[in-house]
């Protein structure tokens, strides 16, 4: 059984709290910069979901006073990005708009709540609080249906040391009389000042009759394709892939035939499935209704897809009665 000190802090780098403790012991608790800590441990350099936890641990463990406003992340930048940064150094800094994306479901005759949470708290360290600027953040949330039409929007300001909770009216994404409808949310954040984003990374909270789950938002990057692996249990749960196309161009996706991981089995009659997602549109693929999964019951599988463009993929795993639900980004 994993002890408290062995709990994983950064899953991407497989870095546990005990490994972090050993790292600081080897440095006599005197690491010159937060940048050095990240580069040497590789923590927080992939998905960055653990970055806030790492900052807190660094503050608690390290004896050196560090200015987080001057952290340098330029070591692994492309040559083009370095040129951009050089040009930017001659101009005053401007606040940028940050964007995150989430899928939204509406299920007929099933009640569950979906909300966006944005928390804007000050730095907990009295030593660093004067050095890390936190400001009120302007928030815009746009809701789109599967066809790419904007069906709802709201704007607000989340002040420092407050939390904004925005309930999403999922009934507005209904297009056809389908059992499960999909849409997506665009969350835009903009600060008045050039400051730290702090704790304002948006989270989506989903509440059902017997459960709740949360996942943080992410920006969109250019993607060639990806995959999803799990166990096919059609009598126990429903697995639903979600795809968001926030661009102004149609997105063509191709789902490869599923593969049984244990014995590399693939149905001989499996075929490619092609989807066309309209600009600003979205779609879902209900794995339980995919006929290519015949003979996969109880088997560990991998499902891959190809599609060049900027899009986001997520996976829902829900119980048959939708009383339990989980959501994660891929």
Mean pLDDT of all residues belonging to the chain = 85
Residue 44: pLDDT band with limits 50, 70, 90? confident
What pLDDT shows up at residue 242? Answer: 96
- Most confident range, picked from 35-49, 94-108, 162-176, 216-230: 162-176
Q: Is the pLDDT of residue 306 over 70?
A: yes
Sheet strands (E) in the chain: 8-10, 15-16, 98-107, 113-120, 137-145, 150-158, 162-167, 180-191, 203-207, 212-216, 222-231, 237-244, 251-255, 259-260, 273-277, 282-286, 300-310, 312-319, 325-329
Per-residue pLDDT tens digits for 256-305: 999 988 776 666 567 899 999 999 999 999 999 999 998 899 999 999 99
| Same topology between domain 98-216 and domain 222-329 | no
What pLDDT shows up at residue 187? Answer: 96
User: How does DSSP classify residue 75?
Assistant: T
C-alpha angle 101-42-20 in degrees, rounded to nearest 5: 110
Helix (H) or strand (E) holding 56: helix 51-61
- Most confident range, picked from 31-45, 64-78, 183-197, 230-244: 230-244
What pLDDT shows up at residue 1? Answer: 40
What pLDDT shows up at residue 300? Answer: 92
Report the pLDDT averaged over residues 80-107. 81
Q: What is the dihedral of CA 303, 306, 307, 313, to 10 degrees?
A: 20
> Hey, where are the domains in the chain?
4-70, 98-216, 222-329
How far is Cα 275 from Cα 284, in angstroms, rounded to an integer?
10
Per-residue pLDDT tens digits for 232-257: 999 999 999 999 999 999 999 999 99
Q: Is the pLDDT of residue 21 over 80?
A: yes
Is the CATH code 2.60.15.10 the one for domain 222-329?
no
Residue 72: pLDDT band with limits 50, 70, 90? low
Report the pLDDT averaged over residues 196-201. 82
163 or 75, greater pLDDT? 163
- Most confident range, picked from 41-50, 132-141, 162-171: 162-171
What pLDDT shows up at residue 74? Answer: 52
**Tell me, which fold does domain 98-216 have in CATH?**
Jelly Rolls (2.60.120)
Report the pLDDT averaged over residues 211-237. 88
Q: Is the pLDDT of residue 150 over 80?
A: yes
Report the pLDDT averaged over residues 63-82. 61
**Tell me, which fold does domain 4-70 have in CATH?**
Arc Repressor Mutant, subunit A (1.10.10)
Residues 6+ apart with CB under 8 A from 25: none
- Of 42-51, 69-78, 115-124, 148-157, the least confident: 69-78
Percentage of the chain lying above the pLDDT 90 cut = 46
What pLDDT shows up at residue 290? Answer: 93
Percentage of the chain lying above the pLDDT 70 cut = 90
Assess contact for 138 and 160: CB atoms under 8 A.
no
Sheet strands (E) in 121-260: 137-145, 150-158, 162-167, 180-191, 203-207, 212-216, 222-231, 237-244, 251-255, 259-260
Helix (H) or strand (E) holding 125: none
């Amino acid at each position: 059984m994993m002890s408290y000190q062995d709990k994983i802090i950064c899953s991407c780098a497989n870095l546990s709290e005990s490994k972090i403790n050993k790292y600081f012991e080897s440095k006599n608790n005197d690491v010159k910069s937060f940048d050095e800590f990240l580069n040497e441990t590789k923590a927080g350099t992939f998905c960055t979901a653990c970055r806030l936890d790492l900052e807190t641990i660094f503050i608690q463990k390290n004896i050196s006073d560090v200015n987080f406003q001057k952290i340098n992340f330029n070591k692994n930048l492309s040559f083009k990005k370095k040129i951009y940064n050089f040009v930017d150094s001659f101009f005053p800094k401007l606040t940028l708009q940050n964007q995150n994306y989430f899928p939204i479901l509406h299920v007929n005759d099933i009640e569950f709540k979906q909300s966006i949470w944005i928390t804007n708290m000050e730095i907990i360290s009295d030593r660093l609080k004067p050095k890390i600027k936190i400001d009120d953040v302007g928030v815009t949330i746009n809701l789109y249906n599967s066809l790419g039409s904007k069906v709802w929007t709201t704007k607000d300001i989340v002040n420092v040391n407050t939390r904004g909770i925005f309930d999403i009216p999922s009934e507005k994404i209904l297009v056809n009389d389908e059992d499960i409808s999909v849409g997506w949310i665009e969350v835009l954040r903009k600060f008045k000042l050039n400051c730290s984003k702090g704790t304002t990374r948006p989270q989506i909270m989903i509440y059902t009759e017997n459960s709740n789950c949360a996942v943080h938002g992410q920006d969109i990057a250019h993607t060639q394709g990806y995959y999803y692996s799990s166990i096919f249990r059609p009598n126990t749960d429903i697995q639903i892939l979600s795809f968001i196309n926030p661009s102004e161009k149609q997105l063509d996706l191709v789902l490869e035939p599923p593969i049984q991981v244990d014995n590399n089995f693939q149905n001989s009659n499996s075929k490619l499935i092609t989807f066309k997602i309209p600009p600003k549109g979205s779609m879902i693929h209900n794995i339980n209704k995919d006929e290519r999964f015949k003979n996969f019951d109880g088997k560990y599988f991998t499902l891959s897809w190809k599609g060049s463009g900027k899009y986001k993929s997520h996976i829902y795993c829900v119980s048959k009665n939708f009383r339990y639900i989980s959501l994660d980004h891929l």
